[in-house]
Amino acid sequence: MSFIHRTVLLDEAVQGLNLQADGIYVDGTFGRGGHSRRILSQLGPNGRLIGFDKDPQAITEAGTITDPRFTIVHDGFAHLAQALDKLGVDKVDGVLLDLGVSSPQLDDGSRGFSFRFDAPLDMRMDTTRGMTAAEWLNTADVKDIAEVIRDYGEERFAKQVAAAIVAGRGEQPLTSTRQLAALVAKAVRTREPGQDPATRTFQAVRIFINRELEELSLILPQALSRLKTGGRLSVIAFHSLEDRIVKQFVQHASKSHMPDRLPLRASEMPVPPLRIIGKPVRASEEEVAENPRARSAILRVAERTEAAL
């Protein structure tokens, strides 16, 4: 099946990279190639783009791009430095990250990301490796399940949901999204208007299975170390947990850190390795009207300075 994917903040995220015609860029989340195709359209003949993605379907889509300036890597962006070394690339001019799950992944019921479909409880972005959501939920301790749902889903009924999952699997192994959604619905007593009771639990399990927050924490320092002076980091986050990690990293790397009471003038303070570019950007009303999934997106951009790490 073909699934429509609308690239969120396409213009803003690519503009944030301040593209140089002969530069080398990284699209850490290829998805269906919206950002990558826009970047390639603005590069010169000597420019280069390296894309990353875990999802085999995304890798298949990347195979339709025959541009010799483009290279796709079937791996998560957490392995950025290792992959660049293999490709003989030391520094790059920009890194773009479009975090979270893509529309095709959500809309393809067979992937198990959404409670809107009855499908195998998989949730892996890379279906060629790793533990499925079903395998973890059927074996994990109730305490671990509750912690994941609380920490990654910000679900106030995490303990009740975890208890329901463990009780339910005792009667019948969890194999489908519908089973999980039904168990959660019984455990969650109230929910925000318009939000399904299973929303937070499905988000939490997906984030955990794919190590999304851990990998985000790994990629940011790698991107910083690989950016050339003047190179840009452009990151789109879709929920508060992701954005908090990005915001804290960028803010910390954009401040000078000196011991207290050191007698230095402002001009003598060391230059921090990053400089924040502009204010955080959100999708316009027009974009949200066309693509409701853009409503929670937030873009942050920072530029590498000449400071040594």
The answer to whether residue 118 sits within a structural domain is: no
| Domain co-membership, 224 together with 183 | no
Q: Which residues pair with 233 in a beta bridge?
A: 95, 302
CATH code at position 158: 1.10.150.170
Alpha helices in the chain (DSSP H): 10-16, 34-42, 56-62, 80-86, 103-107, 133-137, 142-153, 158-171, 177-187, 199-209, 212-226, 240-253, 285-290
Six-digit token string for 224? 């910083």
Q: What is the pTM of this model?
A: 0.90
Residue 286, CA distances (Å) to 34, 101, 178, 291, 292 in order: 18, 22, 34, 9, 10
Which of 51-65, 132-146, 249-263 has the weakest average pLDDT? 249-263
Q: Which of the listed residues 209, 235, 254 is the one where a domain comes to its end?
A: 209
The answer to whether residue 133 sits within a structural domain is: yes
| Domain co-membership, 167 together with 239 | no
Mind listing the pLDDT tens digit for each residue in 73-90? 999 999 999 999 999 999
Q: How far apart are the first and last CA of the chain?
A: 47
53 is in an annotated binding site: yes
Average the pLDDT over 19-25 and give the result: 98
Q: CA–CA separation, 169 vs 173, rounded Å? A: 5
| Domain co-membership, 23 together with 96 | yes
77 is in an annotated binding site: yes
| Domain co-membership, 168 together with 231 | no
Q: What's the pLDDT at 177?
A: 94
Q: CA–CA separation, 299 vs 309, rounded Å? A: 24
160 is in an annotated binding site: no
Q: In 3-state terms, what secondary structure has residue 67? A: coil
| Domain co-membership, 69 together with 134 | no
74 is in an annotated binding site: no
Q: CA–CA separation, 22 vs 88, rounded Å? A: 17
Q: What angle do CA 145, 146, 149 make, to 5 degrees?
A: 85
The answer to whether residue 3 sits within a structural domain is: no
Beta-carbon contacts of residue 4 (< 8 Å; ≥ 6 apart): 103, 104, 107
Q: CA–CA separation, 266 vs 44, rounded Å? A: 40
238 is in an annotated binding site: no
CATH code at position 88: 3.40.50.150
Mind listing the pLDDT tens digit for each residue in 235-265? 999 999 999 999 999 999 999 766 556 665 6
94 is in an annotated binding site: no
Which of 109-118, 135-144, 177-186, 194-203 has the weakest average pLDDT? 109-118
Average pLDDT over the chain reads: 91
Q: What's the pLDDT at 168?
A: 97
The answer to whether residue 253 sits within a structural domain is: yes
Q: CA–CA separation, 161 vs 189, rounded Å? A: 10
Q: Which of 3, 10, 4, 96 lies closest to 284 in space, CA to CA?
A: 10
260 is in an annotated binding site: no
Q: What's the pLDDT at 3?
A: 45
| Domain co-membership, 17 together with 137 | no
Average the pLDDT over 17-28 and give the result: 98
The answer to whether residue 114 sits within a structural domain is: no
Top pLDDT among 194 and 123 is at 123
Q: What's the pLDDT at 104?
A: 65
Q: Which of the listed residues 209, 226, 251 is the one where a domain comes to its end?
A: 209
Q: CA–CA separation, 173 vs 297, rounded Å? A: 36
Q: In 3-state terms, what secondary structure has residue 219? A: helix
Q: Which of the listed residues 163, 185, 209 is the one where a domain comes to its end?
A: 209
Q: How many domains does the chain have?
A: 2
Mind listing the pLDDT tens digit for each residue in 218-240? 999 999 999 999 999 999 999 99
Full residue range of the structural domain in which residue 140 is found: 127-209
